[in-house]
Amino acid sequence: MRHGVSVPCFGSGLDAALVAEWAAAAESAGWDGFFLWDHLFAFAPGPVDVVDPWIALTAAACATERIRLGLMVTPLPRRRPLVVARQSVTLDRLSQGRLVLGVGIGGGPYEWDYCGEQADAATRGDMLDEHLELLERLWTGKPVRHEGRHYRVAGPDWSAVCYPPPLQQPRIPIWVGGTWPGGRPFRRAARWDGVAPMRLDGKWEVADTAAVAARIASLRTTDAPFDLAVPGETEGGDPARLERYAEHRGAGATWWVEAVHPWRYGWVEDAPWPLQEMRERIEAGP
């Protein structure tokens, strides 16, 4: 099992340079992956710094050599397929094939209907499925024509050619995020390369890992490699964390993704953002 850290794309004092520093620190500390959230606004009132995750991960790619980098997760229904194709391939090639594309439908009205985006979650699911199928075709670097319900890439005697293709073949790994227990996100994930589940009603348990692994196994139609990236929180240096890792690995997890966010340190409104505590957990390593 590999180990990564997941950090918000927002926080007082957070910028792309700091994200790059954290990614470099994670690599030095022995983490295998560095994942950044993708939100337009902070989960906190008032003015809070927010970075564009694609630009911040570009800075991280330039500051690292080994660690895998990814979005955890990007809500594709508010991003255009051709733009994502260009951005993802550029970042994959810049990082020498280290990108993981975590995707989902997103949530929260403040990033959707309040901003004039698609408010219906089921429709966003349809958009995500069509987006992924189109994106995979665009990644081939071959001519693509597409006239779908939500996206169009076609013209009179014209097809889109997004060249060059990514370094990673057959494609950049796609991990699908979803809230467990749930149906459609996990059926979607089984068609791609990995799943990044979460719970909204409590901590992630070993039984959850086993249940997701069983569900995905029942849905997969190929024996191609597949990642199950489970979320959790541990303390660096705590011997108990090793047993916890082992339990989830035995239940089917291939990645442990350490959630490094301010609320685990008791952050409340108007308090200083715990950037130092977050960095210390990253530096402590897996």
Tens digit of each residue's pLDDT (9 = 90 or more) over 126-176: 999 999 999 999 999 999 999 999 999 999 999 999 999 999 999 999 999
Task: Give the integer Cα–Cα distance in Å for 144 and 138.
Answer: 6
Q: Which domains can be identified in the chain, with CATH numbers?
A: 2-284 (3.20.20.30)
| pLDDT for the residue numbered 266 | 93
Pair of tokens at residue 223:
């024996």
Tens digit of each residue's pLDDT (9 = 90 or more) over 105-120: 999 898 999 999 999 9
What is the residue-averaged pLDDT of the chain?
96
Query: Cβ of 229: how many Cβ atoms within 10 Å?
Result: 25
> How many CA within 13 A on the CB side of residue 129?
15
Would you call 181 helix, strand, or coil by DSSP?
A: coil
Task: Give the integer Cα–Cα distance in Å for 265 and 278.
Answer: 8
| pLDDT for the residue numbered 44 | 83
Tens digit of each residue's pLDDT (9 = 90 or more) over 90-105: 999 999 999 999 999 9
Tens digit of each residue's pLDDT (9 = 90 or more) over 209-238: 999 999 999 999 999 999 999 999 999 989
Q: Distance from CA of residue 200 to its chain's centroid?
A: 17
| pLDDT for the residue numbered 115 | 92
Residue 194's alpha-carbon distances to 4, 7, 49, 260, in angstroms, are 14, 19, 30, 21
Query: Cβ of 201: how many Cβ atoms within 10 Å?
Result: 7
- Determine the average pLDDT of the residues in 65-82: 97
| pLDDT for the residue numbered 45 | 82
Q: What percent of the chain has pLDDT over 90?
A: 94
Tens digit of each residue's pLDDT (9 = 90 or more) over 55-69: 999 999 999 999 999
**Helix ranges (DSSP H) in 139-199:** 184-190
> How many CA within 13 A on the CB side of residue 275?
14
- Could you check whether the bond before residue 170 is cis, i.e. omega within 30 degrees of 0? yes
| pLDDT for the residue numbered 182 | 86
Task: Give the integer Cα–Cα distance in Å for 243 and 215.
Answer: 24
Q: What percent of the chain has pLDDT over 70?
A: 100
269 band by pLDDT with thresholds 50, 70 and 90? confident
